[in-house]
Amino acid sequence: MSWDTVTLDVDDAGVATLTVDRPDKLNSLNVATLEALEEAIREAATRDARVLVLTGAGEKSFVAGADIGYMQDLSTPEAQAYAELGHRVADGLESFPAPVIAAINGYCFGGGCELALACDLRVASERAVLGQTEIDLGIVPGWGGTQRLSRLVDDETARRLVFFGERVDASDAYELGLVGELVAHNELEDDVAEMAAALAAKPKYALRTAKEALNMVHEEPQHAGLQYEKRAWSGLFGTHDQREGMAAFVDDREPEFE
């Protein structure tokens, strides 16, 4: 299978590398790219990948977020459909039948941060910058961020990151526990490759079982929270602040919220 904005490579050891390939758009996620990611994740599972690595093309960005130009005029039902699509991709990473590593090589905002949160392990380049930045668009995280963030950081830190929409550099992200490893930018690819190879050499079914058991800790309460998040996120579309926040972003100006 092939896609215009996503590439999937599986090596002989069973390490699959999934790359969002829109470097001219900082690897932001439009509908076509999300749909391609959904298909590529399924394809990697079909090809019996023992490890999945998620990263972004180019030197600047992992995934800079969702496509704000597309989102700004969505109706509530359209926003709900977009939320469902984003959740399917994040859920696909979280439930993938092997460990998933996010190789965060640059900007990792909004929906991009949410995809990283859905991975099992996160390795960040020293150039990475992360954040749940949705609040300044008049919305909230809508692809799992409100539920998954507090797994990695304490509750108040999660609230601060969401309420203020702060962007944190890689060093701070590591200190907060948002990423598990911090490496020099030019060492990221080799470091992740070494980690992926080590995992690929582990017993496949034991790893799958371990992941399922670890995920089970969160599944029931998280399910209700994720359902609420989708409704809350899409319900903000059509409000003044959502329209103004996204219009201001597209127009490159400061928003004027109610």
Tens digit of each residue's pLDDT (9 = 90 or more) over 182-225: 999 999 999 999 999 999 999 999 999 999 988 887 776 778 88
Global confidence as pTM = 0.91
Q: Which residues are catalytic?
A: 114, 134
Q: What is the pLDDT of residues 41-53, one digit of tens each?
A: 999 999 999 999 9
Q: What is the pLDDT of residue 232?
A: 87
The angle formed by the CA atoms of residues 85, 195 and 109, to the nearest 5 degrees, is 35
Do the beta carbons of residue 129 and residue 207 sit within 8 Å?
Answer: no
Residue 126 to residue 9: CA distance in whole angstroms: 25
pLDDT score recorded for residue 220: 67
What are the structural domains of the chain?
Answer: 6-186 (3.90.226.10)
The DSSP secondary structure of the chain, one letter per residue, reads ---SSEEEEE-TTSEEEEEE--GGGTT-B-HHHHHHHHHHHHHHHHTT-SEEEEEESSSSEEE--B-HHHHTT--HHHHHHHHHHHHHHHHHHHT-SS-EEEEE-SEEETHHHHHHHHSSEEEEETT-EEE--GGGGT----SSHHHHHHHHS-HHHHHHHHHH---EEHHHHHHHTSSSEEE-GGGHHHHHHHHHHHHHTS-HHHHHHHHHHHHHHHHHHHHHHHHHHHHHHHHTTTSHHHHHHHHHHHHTS-----
